[in-house]
Amino acid sequence: MSEDELIHDSATASEIVRAAVSFWNQWFLRGGQGSSAVKSDPFAVAGISSSRDWRTAVTLSFPRVPPEVFFAWLGPRLVLWPAGVVHERRTSIVSSRIGKRRDLKRGWFDALRTAVIRQDPAECLCCVSGTAPEDAIIRSSELFGARRLRIDVAPGGNASEAELVEWLELKARVQQPSGLLLEDVAYVSPACQPDITDQSCDADRKCQSPVQDTALVLAAERIVGLSCRAEGHVESLLKRHLQDEQRNAPVLLATVAESESAAVSQSLVSLGAVPWLLGRADVDGEDRRTASSNTRSTRARSPESICFSVSDGPLQVSDEWLSHWTRPRQGPWAEQRDEEFLDELILGCQTADRSAFAALLRIVAQCQITASRSVRNADKTVSFTAVPLSDFRDRRVYRRHKQRFDFEPWGIAVRKAALETCGCCAVTYVDRDTYDNVAEGDRLFQQLNSDDGGRIDWSQEREWRYAGNLDLSGLDAEDICVFVDTHDEATALRAVAPWRVVQVPPKTKPA
* pLDDT score of 83: 87
Q: pLDDT, tens digit, for every residue of 244-283? A: 999 999 999 988 766 666 667 888 999 999 998 876 543 3
Q: By the 8 A CB rule, do 62 and 79 touch?
A: yes
Question: Is the predicted pLDDT of residue 338 greater than 50, yes or no?
Answer: yes
180 or 141, higher pLDDT: 141
- Summarize the confidence of residues 288-314 as an average pLDDT: 46
Cα 37 to Cα 137: distance, rounded to the nearest angstrom: 41
The percent of residues in the chain predicted with pLDDT above 70, rounded, is 79
Q: By the 8 A CB rule, do 188 and 152 touch?
A: yes
Q: What's the longest Cα–Cα distance across the chain?
A: 93
Cα 452 to Cα 440: distance, rounded to the nearest angstrom: 18
Q: pLDDT, tens digit, for every residue of 469-495? A: 999 999 999 999 999 999 999 999 999
- Summarize the confidence of residues 202-209 as an average pLDDT: 55
Phi-psi region of 324 (alpha: psi -120 to 50; beta: other; left: phi over 0): beta
Cα 52 to Cα 323: distance, rounded to the nearest angstrom: 62
Q: Are strands 381-385 and 57-59 parallel, antiparallel or unpaired?
A: unpaired
Q: Are strands 397-399 and 183-188 parallel, antiparallel or unpaired?
A: unpaired
* pLDDT score of 399: 78
* pLDDT score of 40: 39
Q: By the 8 A CB rule, do 209 and 38 touch?
A: no
pTM for the model: 0.82
Cα 157 to Cα 178: distance, rounded to the nearest angstrom: 26
Question: Is the predicted pLDDT of residue 510 greater than 90, yes or no?
Answer: no
In the chain, residues under CATH classification 3.40.50 are 89-146+221-283
Phi and psi, residue 248, nearest 5°: -130, 15
Would you give the DSSP letter of residue 88? Answer: S
Work out the end-to-end distance of the chain between its first and last CA atoms, rounded to an integer number of angstroms: 76
Question: Is the predicted pLDDT of residue 296 greater than 60, yes or no?
Answer: no
116 burial via Cβ count (<10 Å: 0-12, 13-18, 19+) = buried
Q: pLDDT, tens digit, for every residue of 443-475? A: 888 889 888 777 888 899 999 999 999 999 999
Q: By the 8 A CB rule, do 360 and 482 touch?
A: yes
For residue 374, what pLDDT band results from cuts at 50, 70 and 90? confident
Cα 208–209–212 angle (5° rounding)?
A: 135
Considering the segment(s) 89-146+221-283 as one domain, its CATH architecture is 3-Layer(aba) Sandwich (3.40)
Q: pLDDT, tens digit, for every residue of 97-120? A: 998 999 999 999 999 999 999 999
Radius of gyration of the chain (CA): 29
| DSSP SS3 for 256 | coil
* pLDDT score of 46: 54
Q: By the 8 A CB rule, do 392 and 407 touch?
A: yes
The percent of residues in the chain predicted with pLDDT above 90, rounded, is 56
Would you give the DSSP letter of residue 370? Answer: P
Q: By the 8 A CB rule, do 422 and 470 touch?
A: yes
16 burial via Cβ count (<10 Å: 0-12, 13-18, 19+) = buried
Q: By the 8 A CB rule, do 43 and 26 touch?
A: no
